[in-house]
């Protein structure tokens, strides 16, 4: 495999070259670990897609027998594990791990000019804990549901612990290991997003860990944190409703709602960074974008009750949660405004990376709008079914985040592997997927609204027929979209070995440090580095030629001469 | 055979994992933290990362216990069927023991600051022993409860009692591990100075102390 990361000790030929496993698997080097998380994510996303395929096929054609796979959905209990595993894989290993632990581990130290993460050994431990947790998840699916659930909870707890360690690493690295001159205002927005995500993850995954501990205590030692059904039945009726599942709901949703916002943060960071770099424009309202990141993350902490509108809590609490949930719109709109303002008037080149970044904006906007409806406490419970919610969160969380990841992958593939992904294949993959996901998830909104509508019986039959044919077409669209991902997989694997090699260190003419680290380490006694940062990350000049940017590490004396070429002594 | 990158210098930077962290960046207009500057040895990672890491770790552990505490409060207030647990009196003895250990810890650090290594070792060992004594005392408390028929599965209040004390004890054992590390480790050969290790461990230990007082107050007020 063409790995241009140079793990062999070319600077020190006397040392024997380390084997494959010590270079790529058991090393604490942040780049290897970042790549390993990406491989993990790649595996998980395809496994998760397979789960969703089985679910949809059984939804539309219940009697279908796919050899080997149908037994996985043969009984109700077995079928119920499919959405659980699909969700766990996608939310944890793709959405949470890939943009943060995958891209973050690889790029964060490079972008701030650090030699590695603050605690490399802890980084390695976190990765292997994540792998163990993935094994736990997949095994839990294959064994009996009663013990499967226990194993699932254990795996969630393990994943939480590994994410906590990871987040600790990210936070400490960003605070303490920045290169000289890399002040907080000069941090690239990707780094800001990783940093804010890390702080917030530290808070919420601790809560999940506590909730899992209580659940495991109930299962193993018979404790009474979450009441069992017989106990509830013995309570007087007025106490039953409030006592029931309220505690688990509160704990879980306090984590989970914050988590879905927090998990989007690295995607916001990536897309903001990419839109700016690819359109050669500085980020509009850069400082406020950071505040908007914080705002989105923080709102997530105050809205757990939006999942409990019908849980018979205090009558005023739904109103409070509804207002708070709607307030997410403020930072979200600011971000969309910033992205659009950044692009306004720019000469946009529609590379695959740019297409996916633009696709992210589109999906986030359209998926987010349905969120405004869901925030209304009177509307959501009575008027929409789960299908509406499924459409909403898949657009905004599942697909938009995936587009952000793909955009980042197309952009940083040269950095990771020294080659380019195929642009024509990438663009084809984009258009097929973009059309496909809208065909899949947009109709779900309509289906969700129609489900609870009160129509006269004649219309009801017509609606039911329309609904069922729509569901079938969703499944067909899904089949086509999933197969379109095969294009991506082919592109990815083929380009690893046969992709066009890049000959320059900065093919995108980006400003951030990972592209322009050319000054060698001095290696003096104090371990100082010559790398100094002189400016922010988005200094683009409207010169229309290839010298339209100022790398962060370039000293001011080599600034652009008026109308002249930019002299750069590096890259 | 691995192909070289277009920028071999990049590989040199990235491969040089033996070098320490860079100079402390001009964060917030300030310069070096003086104590950190003294402790930093050539080629060693900046000790700031350990204190930052510990502070952040403490924040995370605090959230963990806050989740349990808020669950406790919600259930206590909402439940009409709460059976309180009679707290064994040894818990108060344990509290005094733990507070004493914090005191010996600080005395040990003061000895270290005056380069009195022998004094430091004595008091540090005393801290470790007091910590172990606390854990033993907790075990005694559990046994007393079990003997009087109160188990984790008895009712909600007892579930919380056991989970609070057990979770705290597990974290404290981690702290004891850190204390032993500082006691046993040969710091001449370490990249981490003894003073930093002791300082960071002290943050954790005092936090465990305060946490225990908080949990005890919660259990007492839950009556």
Is B8 at the interface with chain A, CB within 8 A? yes
Q: pLDDT band at A54, cuts 50/70/90?
A: confident
DSSP string of A163-217, one letter each residue: HHHHHHHHHHHHHH-PPBT--GGGS-HHHHHHHHHHHHHHHHHHHHHHHHHHHHH
pLDDT at residue A417, as a whole number: 87
pLDDT at A167: 96
pLDDT at A252: 87
3-class secondary structure, A438: helix
pLDDT above 90 covers a percentage of chain A that reads 45
Q: Indicate yes or no: CB of B6 within 8 angstroms of CB of A10.
A: no
**Same domain (yes/no): A142, A190:** yes
Q: Could you tell me if residue A410 is inside a domain?
A: yes
Point out which residues pair with A549 in neighbouring strands. Answer: A540
Instruction: Locate B143 and state its tokens.
Output: 């046994």
The burial class, CB within 10 Å (0-12 / 13-18 / 19+), for A56 is buried
pLDDT of residue A283: 94
Residues A199 and A343 in one domain: no
Pick the residue from chain A with its C-alpha nearest to B31.
Answer: A180
Instruction: List pLDDT tens digits, range A432-484.
Output: 999 999 999 999 988 888 776 666 677 777 777 788 888 889 988 998 999 99
Q: What is the pLDDT of residue A72?
A: 61
Between A482 and A5, name the one with better pLDDT. A482
Q: What is the mean pLDDT of residues A116-122?
A: 93
What are the Cα distances from residue A314, in Å, to A321, A378, B70? 12, 15, 17
Interchain contact, B53 vs A119, CB within 8 Å: yes
Domain identity same for A224 and A252: no
Domain extent, residue A374, equals: 245-284+294-502
In a shared domain, residues A114 and A143: yes
Residue A424 has pLDDT above 90, yes or no: yes
- pLDDT of A2: 39
Interval A501-530 mean pLDDT = 63
Lowest mean pLDDT of A23-37, A139-153, A474-488, B16-30, name the range. B16-30
Residue A548 pLDDT grade (very low, low, confident, very high; cuts 50, 70, 90) = confident
> Does residue B31 belong to the interface with chain A, where contact is any CB pair within 8 Å?
no
Average pLDDT of chain B? 82
* C-alpha separations of A52 from A85, A141, A472, A474 in Å: 10, 14, 14, 12
**Residue A363 is part of a domain; what is its CATH number?**
1.20.210.10
B 110-139 → A contacts, CB under 8 A: none
- Number of domain units in chain A: 2
Assess whether A492 and A349 both reside in one domain: yes
Beta strands in B34-149 (DSSP E): none
Cβ distance of B153 and A223 shorter than 8 Å: yes
Which of A171, A243, A527 lies closest to B78 in CB terms? A243
Does B43 touch chain A if contact means CB atoms closer than 8 Å?
Answer: yes
B151 to chain A: closest CA residue: A223
Domain contains A491: yes
Contact B130, B54 (CB under 8 A): no
Fold (topology level) of B37-221:
1.20.120
Instruction: Provide the pLDDT for residue A241.
Output: 57
Residue ranges of the domains in chain B? Answer: 37-221
Q: Is the pLDDT of residue A529 over 90?
A: no
Same domain, A368 and A428: yes
Task: Categorize the per-residue pLDDT at A174 as very low, low, confident or very high, splitting at 50, 70 and 90.
Answer: very high
Whether B162 and A223 lie within 8 Å, measured CB to CB = yes
Mark yes or no for CB contact A7/B53 under 8 Å.
no
Where is pLDDT greater, at A69 or B51? B51
What φ, ψ does residue B40 adopt, rounded to 5°?
Answer: -75, 125
Note the pLDDT of residue B60: 95
pLDDT (0 to 100) of residue A165: 96
Query: Regarding predicted confidence, which is higher, A354 or A13?
Result: A354
Same domain, A190 and A251: no
Mark which residues 76-95 of B lie under 8 Å from A by CB. 78-81
The reply to whether A83 falls in a domain is yes
SS3 A419: strand
pLDDT one-digit tens code per residue, A282-303: 999 999 999 999 998 888 787 7
* A183 and A273 housed in the same domain: no
CB atoms B67 and A206 under 8 Å: yes
Mean pLDDT over A122-140 rounds to: 95
Q: Which residue has the higher pLDDT, A548 or A164?
A: A164
Mutating which of B8, B38, B60, B215 best tests the A interface, going by the most A Cβ atoms within 10 A?
A: B60
What does the pLDDT average to over A199-223? 92
Over range A79-89, report the average pLDDT.
Answer: 88
Tell me if A528 and B23 make a contact (CB, 8 A cut-off): yes
How far lies B218's CA from each of A207, B157, B209, in Å? 18, 12, 14
Domain boundary among A481, A502, A523: A502
Question: Is residue A197 domain-resident?
Answer: yes
Q: Would you call A527 and B22 a contact, using CB atoms and an 8 Å cutoff? A: yes
Instruction: Give the chain B residue whose CA is nearest to the CA of A116.
Output: B17
pLDDT band per the 50, 70, 90 thresholds, residue B79: low
The CA distance from A476 to A487, in Å, is: 18
At residue A440, the pLDDT reads: 93
Task: Report pLDDT digits (tens) over A237-283.
Answer: 766 655 555 778 788 888 988 898 888 999 999 999 999 999 999 99
pLDDT at A213: 94
CA distance B36 to A532: 21
Q: What backbone torsions phi and psi does residue A180 show, to the nearest 5 degrees?
A: -65, 135
pLDDT at B23: 40
Length of chain B: 223
A interface test, pick of B4, B6, B169 with most A CB neighbours within 10 Å: B6
Asked whether the CA dihedral A195, B24, A534, A120 is positive or negative, the reply is: negative
Q: Is residue A19 part of a domain?
A: no
pLDDT for the residue numbered A71: 63
Cα angle A391, A264, A41 (rounded to 5 degrees) comes to: 85
pLDDT band with cut points at 50, 70 and 90 for residue A171: very high
Check CB contact of B147 with chain A, cutoff 8 Å: no
Domain boundary among A228, A255, A275: A228
User: Chain A residues with CB inside 8 Å of B45's CB?
Assistant: 118
| Residue A192 scores a pLDDT above 60 | yes
Is A528 contained in some domain? no
Q: What is residue A374's predicted lDDT score, i.e. its pLDDT?
A: 82
Higher pLDDT, B47 or A69: B47
Q: Does pLDDT of B134 surpass 90?
A: yes
Per-residue pLDDT at A239: 62
Q: Is residue A16 part of a domain?
A: no
Distance between A406 CA and the closest CA of chain B, angstroms: 24
Q: Please answer yes or no on whether A181 and B26 come within 8 Å at the CB atom.
A: yes
In tens, the pLDDT along A320-352 reads 888 888 888 899 999 999 999 999 988 888 999
Q: Are residue A342 and residue A415 in the same domain, yes or no? A: yes
CA B41 to chain centre: 25
Question: CA-based Rg of chain B, rounded to a whole angstrom?
Answer: 23
Whether B7 sits inside 8 A of A571 (CB atoms) is yes
């Amino acid at each position: 495999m063409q790995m241009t990361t140079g793990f062999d000790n070319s600077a020190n030929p006397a040392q024997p070259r380390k084997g494959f496993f010590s270079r790529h698997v058991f090393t604490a080097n942040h780049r290897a670990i970042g790549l390993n998380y990406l491989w993990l994510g790649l595996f998980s996303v395809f496994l998760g897609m397979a789960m969703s395929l089985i679910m949809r096929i059984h939804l539309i054609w219940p009697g279908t027998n796919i050899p080997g796979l149908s037994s996985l959905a043969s009984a109700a209990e077995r079928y119920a594990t499919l959405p659980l595993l699909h969700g766990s894989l996608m939310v944890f290993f793709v959405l949470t791990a890939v943009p943060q632990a995958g891209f973050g581990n690889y790029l964060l130290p490079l972008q701030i000019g650090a030699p590695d993460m603050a605690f490399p050994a802890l980084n390695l431990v976190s990765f292997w804990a994540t792998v163990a947790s993935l094994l736990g998840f997949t095994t839990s699916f294959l064994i009996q549901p009663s013990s499967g659930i226990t194993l699932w909870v254990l795996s969630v707890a393990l994943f939480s612990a590994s994410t906590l360690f990871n987040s600790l690493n990210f936070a400490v690295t960003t605070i303490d290991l920045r290169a000289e001159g890399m002040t907080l205002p000069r941090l690239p927005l990707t780094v800001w997003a990783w940093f804010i995500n890390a702080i917030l993850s530290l808070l919420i995954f601790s809560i999940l860990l506590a909730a899992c501990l209580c659940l495991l205590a109930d299962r193993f030692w018979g404790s009474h944190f979450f009441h069992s059904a017989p106990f509830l039945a013995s309570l007087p009726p007025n106490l039953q409703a409030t006592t029931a599942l309220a505690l688990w709901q509160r704990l879980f949703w306090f984590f989970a709602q914050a988590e879905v916002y927090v998990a989007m943060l690295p995607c916001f960071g990536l897309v903001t960074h990419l839109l700016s770099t690819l359109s050669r424009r500085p980020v509009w309202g850069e400082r406020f974008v950071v505040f908007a990141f914080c705002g989105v993350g923080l709102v997530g902490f105050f809205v757990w009750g939006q999942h409990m509108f019908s849980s018979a809590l205090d009558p005023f609490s739904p109103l409070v949660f509804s207002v708070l949930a709607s307030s997410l719109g403020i930072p979200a709109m600011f971000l969309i405004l910033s992205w659009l303002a950044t692009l306004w008037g720019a000469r946009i080149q529609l590379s695959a990376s740019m297409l996916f970044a633009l696709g992210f904006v589109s999906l986030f906007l359209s998926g987010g709008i349905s969120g405004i409806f869901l925030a209304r406490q009177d509307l959501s419970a009575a008027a929409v079914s789960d299908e509406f919610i499924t459409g909403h969160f898949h657009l905004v969380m599942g697909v938009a985040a995936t587009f952000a990841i793909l955009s980042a992958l197309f952009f940083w593939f040269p950095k990771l592997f020294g080659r380019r992904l195929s642009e024509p294949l990438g663009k084809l993959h984009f258009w097929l997927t973009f059309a496909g996901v809208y065909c899949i998830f947009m109709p779900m909104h309509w289906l969700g609204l129609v489900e609870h509508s009160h129509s006269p019986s004649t219309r009801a039959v017509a609606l039911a027929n329309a609904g069922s044919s729509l569901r079938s077409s969703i499944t067909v669209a899904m089949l086509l979209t999933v197969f379109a991902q095969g294009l991506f997989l082919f592109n990815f694997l083929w380009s690893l070995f046969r992709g066009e090699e890049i000959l320059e260190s900065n093919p995108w003419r980006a400003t951030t440090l990972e592209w322009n680290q050319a000054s060698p380490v001095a290696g003096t006694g104090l371990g100082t580095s010559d790398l100094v940062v002189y400016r922010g990350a988005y200094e683009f000049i409207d010169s229309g030629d290839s010298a339209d940017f100022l790398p962060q590490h370039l000293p001011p004396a080599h600034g652009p001469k008026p109308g002249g070429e930019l002299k750069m002594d590096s890259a | 055979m691995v192909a070289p990158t277009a920028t071999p210098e990049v590989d040199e930077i990235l491969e040089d994992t033996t070098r320490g962290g860079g100079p402390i960046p001009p964060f917030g207009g300030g310069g070096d933290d003086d104590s950190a500057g003294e402790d930093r040895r050539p080629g060693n990672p900046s000790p700031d990362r350990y204190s930052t890491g510990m502070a952040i770790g403490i924040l995370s552990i605090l959230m963990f216990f806050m989740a349990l505490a808020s669950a406790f409060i919600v259930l206590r207030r909402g439940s009409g069927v709460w059976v309180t647990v009679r707290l064994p009196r040894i818990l108060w003895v344990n509290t005094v023991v733990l507070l004493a250990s914090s005191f010996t810890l600080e005395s040990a650090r003061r000895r270290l600051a005056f380069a009195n290594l022998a004094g430091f070792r004595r008091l540090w060992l005393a801290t470790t022993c007091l910590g172990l004594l606390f854990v033993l005392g907790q075990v005694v408390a559990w046994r007393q409860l079990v003997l009087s028929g109160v188990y984790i599965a008895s009712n909600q209040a007892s579930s919380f009692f056991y989970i609070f004390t057990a979770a705290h004890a597990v974290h404290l054992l981690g702290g004891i591990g850190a204390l032993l590390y500082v006691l046993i480790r040969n710091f001449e050969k370490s990249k981490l100075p003894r003073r930093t290790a002791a300082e960071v461990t002290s943050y954790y230990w005092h936090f465990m102390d305060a946490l225990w007082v908080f949990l005890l107050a919660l259990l007492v007020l839950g009556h």
